[in-house]
Amino acid sequence: MAKAIELNGINKIYGTAIRTQVLFDIDLAFEEQSFNSIIGQSGSGKSTLMNIMGTLDRPTSGTVTIGGIQTGSMSKNDLAVVRNETIGFIFQFHYLLPEFTALENVLMPYLIKHNRPTAEVRERANELMELVGLGKVKNNLATQMSGGQQQRTAIARALIMNPKIILADEPTGNLDSDTTEIVYEILRKVNSQFKTTFVIITHDRKIAEKADRIVEIRDGRISLDIARPII
Amino acid sequence: MSVSLKIAVRFLKSSRGQTILIVLGIAIGISVQIFIGSLIQGLQKSLVETTIGNASQITVVSPDDDKRFSDPERVMQAIRQAEGQITALSPALDQAGLATDGDETGSVLIRGLDFAAAEPIYALADRIVQGRLPSASDEAVIGKVLQAEWDVAIGDTLDVTVAGGKRLTYTVCGVFDLQVQSLNTSWFLTTLASAQERFDLAGQVTSIEMQVESGDVFLADTIAAELQALPELMDLEVTNWKAQNEQLLSGLNGQSVSSIMIQVFVVVSVVLAIASVLAISVMQKSRQIGILKAMGIKSRQASLVFLYQGLILGVLGGLAGVALGLGLAYSFTVFARNPDGTPVVALLIDPAFFVLSFLIAVTASSLASLIPARKSARLDPIEVIRNG
């Protein structure tokens, strides 16, 4: 099967005077439509890895290939288009825009590209809000929702452009266990329904074990890479 | 509506207090600028009006020793054909003289005027405070200062000795008030026909006086130069009020320059205020800008968010400033009045100036938002994502 994301020889070094290397020669690829998790302790470099996969950060050396296209030589604006059209982000701290309602936040990636929402995309946004169980509070301001509701709104936002890849960094990091369960159910549902590739970073082994493949990062290197046998 | 504009509007709405403060700041700055501008313009206009509104603005005189020239009709005809901006054209025959009334003696300037032609310049019909304008050749009107000093009554006669020793007797038929002390003392007005007849100077005049349209008073020197070039005026000399009032002109100039300086500094302080508030706003919104960039907003769109904010603040502040400036100007003319009820300073309410001030507000705010816009364009999303 084709690769959604391919990392080759990724090194990441922070600082110039005092150099801190956080990633060492990472080679990693994720297949399309797969549901993957990356685990590791805090400081292991997993968030940096995700930011590099998502083109938010550039590696010190190595190549990032998204959907078969190398991103190394792309301009800032070209990368912005790639992020807008092919990648959906779900961050640990949900990062909604507090000035906008939940529904407007969900529509924002579409507005960035097209300026004006069509009736179809509005309909889709409403459906996504229903999918994440927020049909009733979709017109609340982002700040007037609970943490779980905000996180689910962020999931709906990540889906609005129908991206090939969703990168999620500790999407349930600050949610209670019941809500965590709900959020994972939603992510799996999206994966099977929309065939979206998922890469989820978590430090929770229980969660990680629900993925089809688990990659463990330790001190900037891949220490474990196992695929769950397909039953 | 573009997404940048949408975000700009939402940002401004979400920090309403800050937005109102900055709009108020722009409005006060612009209203002060408008007020000072209108005040100075009004002041200058009324100053120019009192100085030359009732005086000859362009004068044709003779360079000859006797200061006289003949056939004024031919000259006036040529002027009328050459220049459309001339609103008044009046010949005059002046002669210095010594007036006596019993034991009182004083020097006067006997001016033979064509009262109909001189009316647009001196508005004598309104300025006769007693009696009437002269019509017979032995009638004259005198100024109210001379009248008061000598205690002359309508119908009294005065003797005037003119150059050459000739002694003439006039009956005072009226008293004028030209609101200038020296003219009210020395001018002694008769008809042009009377002067020409009694001085034995048939067909001669000493000057042709002119006024131009009120919008063209500052072009008097140019018009005078054009008139000087006419063949009919070859042997004559054309003077204008600007050449005779250099001090007034340099005063007006100084006033304009200082008024513009004040206006410029007001606008500069407005720009600095907006720039600093928007710069803080970029810091406040850096998290949002970072999220938007992670979602794929381009640098240009990100900078437009702040340019639009500057534009919106400029439009709102400009409109409020114009309204406030008008209010300020209006209350100044209503409440600051002389004892006689006229405004202390007649402000010049010039719509073009208001539009200009509004455009200055909009341009200044847009310029002020350039630096924050650049900051916003350069903001790296990873800074926000990494640091939470």
Question: pLDDT tens-digit profile of B165-203?
Answer: 888 899 999 999 988 888 899 999 999 999 898 888 888
Average pLDDT, chain B: 87
CA dihedral B39, B45, B51, B57 (to 10 degrees): 160
Residues of chain B found within 8 Å of residue A113, distances taken between Cβ atoms: 296
**For chains A and B, what is the number of CB pairs under 8 angstroms?**
73
**Tell me, what's the pLDDT at B317?**
92
**Tell me, what's the pLDDT at A119?**
92
| pTM higher than 0.80 | no
Residues of chain B found within 8 Å of residue A76, distances taken between Cβ atoms: 298-299
**Tell me, what's the pLDDT at A103?**
93
Give the residue from chain A lying closest to B14, CA to CA: A99
Q: What is the dotted CATH code of the domain comprising A3-227?
A: 3.40.50.300
Give the residue from chain A lying closest to B380, CA to CA: A56
A 42-71 residues with CB < 8 A to B: 47, 51, 54, 56-57
Residue with tokens 């025959």: B93
Residue A186 amino acid letter = I
Stated as kind and residue range, the H or E segment containing B172 is strand B167-176
Listed residue (A197, A157, A172, A187) closest to A66, CA to CA: A197
Q: Do B10 and A100 touch (CB under 8 A)?
A: yes
Please tell me the distance in Å from B363's CA to the nearest CA on chain A.
25
Q: Do A54 and B10 touch (CB under 8 A)?
A: no
Share of chain A above pLDDT 70, in %: 98
* Whether A110 contacts chain B with CB within 8 A: no
- How many Å apart are CA B301 and CA B18, to the nearest integer? 23
Residue B69 amino acid letter = F
Per residue in A101-139, pLDDT tens? 999 999 999 999 998 889 999 999 998 888 888 888 888
* Domain residue spans of chain A: 3-227
* Whether A113 contacts chain B with CB within 8 A: yes
- How many Å apart are CA A14 and CA A7, to the nearest integer? 19
First to last CA, chain A: 19
Give the residue from chain B lying closest to A95, CA to CA: B291
Phi-psi region of A97 (alpha: psi -120 to 50; beta: other; left: phi over 0): beta
Please tell me the distance in Å from A215's CA to the nearest CA on chain B.
21
List C-alpha distances in Å: A110 to A116, A161, B297, B315.
8, 6, 10, 29
**Tell me, what's the pLDDT at B20?**
92
Residue B263 amino acid letter = Q
> B50 or A1, which is more confident?
B50
Q: Do A84 and B296 touch (CB under 8 A)?
A: yes
**Tell me, what's the pLDDT at B5?**
94
**Tell me, what's the pLDDT at A229?**
64
Stated as kind and residue range, the H or E segment containing B19 is helix B16-52
Per residue in B289-301, pLDDT tens? 988 998 899 999 9
Q: Do B294 and A98 touch (CB under 8 A)?
A: no
Which residue numbers of B have CB closer than 8 Å to A's CBs?
1-3, 6-7, 10-11, 13-14, 287-288, 291-301, 381-382, 385-386, 388
Cβ-proximal residues to A47 (8 Å cutoff; 6+ apart), any chain: A169, A201, B386
Report the complex ipTM: 0.89
- How many Å apart are CA A145 and CA A153, to the nearest integer? 10
Residues of chain A found within 8 Å of residue B288, distances taken between Cβ atoms: 97-99
**Tell me, what's the pLDDT at A187?**
87
String of DSSP letters for B39-74: HHHHHHHHHHHHHHTTS-SEEEE--STT--EE-HHH
List C-alpha distances in Å: B158 to B104, B105, B137.
10, 10, 14
Tokens of A85: 């059209």
Per residue in A138-167, pLDDT tens? 888 988 888 888 888 998 899 898 888 999
Residue with tokens 């959604």: A4
A79-83, A220-224, B267-271: the lowest-pLDDT one = B267-271
Share of chain B above pLDDT 70, in %: 99
Most A-contacting residue of B385, B386, B387 (CB-CB within 10 A), to test interface: B385
